[in-house]
Structure 1
Amino acid sequence: MRKLIAAMKISVDGKAEGPAGFADWVHDWAEDYGLTDQVDACLLGGRMYPGYEQYWTAIQNAPDEPLPMTGKPAAREELPWARFAAKTPHYVLSNTLNSANWPMTRFLRSNDDVAALKRQPGKDIYLMGGSTIVDSLIEAGLVDELRLVVYPLIAGEGKVLFSTTAQRRDLELTKVEQLPGGRLSLIYKIG
């Protein structure tokens, strides 16, 4: 069975989002998790997908132009992910969204649909945050691995990654790596 791998960028105090609704301490959305060779599908929640699609479409269409969300051009480190995203199937777990501009986007309606996706042949699946979908799919027992890039800051106000997880989960640390800028990469197997 394919693994579902959740990956998030968080602060030392466990925040996945700042007060503005996103991780405003992240300077670029490069793929720091080492997943591109391991996955052949991405899974997102319905709240995150529209902005994600807009952001990466803007980079794909005009990588040197200012992005509508930031007013700055894409970081050089984001360009490989923009190319990967353009050719990779994306699945959106949502009860409300029904359409997407990307032709390789499909909609899932339930955790059972996610479980069925995991049973299909292929490489592993990258579960992209937000924290709500990560929390709910960990709670449902569908996430096999958690990859965190921890930024060296206390974010203060914002949304904690595991704010709604009720059930205790054992994690097995399988890899630690120091990244530039004082960041840490942590990889856990979820028990």
Structure 2
Amino acid sequence: MGQLVVVNFVSLDGVMQSVLSADEDRDGGFDQGGWVLPYVDEVVERFMSRATAGAGALLLGRRTYEIFAATWPYADMNDPAVAAMNAMPKYVASRTVRDLTWANSTVLGADLAAEVSRIKAASERETVVLGSGGLLGTLIEHDLVDEYRLLVFPLVLGGGKQLFADGKSPRRLTLTATQPTPSGVLINTYRRAEG
């Protein structure tokens, strides 16, 4: 059975909103977009390239899918991570999007928990979730995430959408790996705690 792995950027205070650009997600008046870029070093780039190229499939929320679909099909196909993302299956959780322009993309049905369980059961490889804050809330609520690979950036944003929003039931995790990068990012891997 395949694993569902979340790979995401978070600030020290758990914010994951609008990581790459100012216009990515301004919901709630968020004006700190693009906060990741000053900290992206060769270790972060290498980690993200391996995480992407090593995935068997992507699971994305609508907004993240639309951002990726507007960029990745036109990126340098000589980059193994780009080639892998364009070739692999992409599953999209959305109630509104039906016209998927990015190759190998499929909209999931209304019962998201059942759909994700089916994808995991049918795969031998990892299905990776990138970004997708709204989708993550549902995945966490249904305890579908097997592993979190969180790149924790050394800054406090003081507000914005958080990876683990209030109102979710407690989850015990076990830290299985950690790696600091030259720019001060900590790459932490957590798995579900046993028992």
Q: TM-score, normalised by structure 1?
A: 0.81
Equivalent AA in structure 2 for residue 141 of structure 1: D
> Quick one: distance in 2 between partners of 1:158 and 1:15?
6
Q: Where does residue 161 of structure 1 map in the other structure?
A: 163
Give the one of 144, 147, 153 matched to 1:151. 153
Structure ranking higher in helix proportion? 2
Taking the aligned partners of 1:153 and 1:25, their CA distance within structure 2 comes to: 9
TM-score (norm 2): 0.80
Report the residue type matching 2:15 in the other structure. Answer: K
In the alignment, which residue of structure 1 is the partner of 2:96?
Answer: 96
Structure 2 unpaired stretches of 5+: 27-32
- Overall identity of the aligned pairs, in %: 29
Task: After TM superposition, list the pairs within 5 Å mapping 1:23-102 onto structure 2.
Answer: 24-27=34-37, 30=45, 32-33=47-48, 34-36=50-52, 38-60=54-76, 79-102=79-102
Say which structure is richer in strand: 1
| SS of match in other structure, 2:2 | coil
What number of residue pairs does the alignment pair up?
175
* Structure 1 runs not aligned, ≥5 long: 64-78
Q: CA deviation at 1:60?
A: 4.1
Residues in 2 aligned to 1:136 and 1:162: alpha-carbon distance in whole angstroms: 11
Structure 2: distance between partners of 1:165 and 1:116: 27
* CA offsets 1:34-93 (integer angstroms, 9 cap, x no match): 4246421010011221111102133248x9xxxxxxxxxxxxxxx443222111111111
Deviations 1:139-181 (A, max 9, x none): 1011100110011111123112111451100000000101121
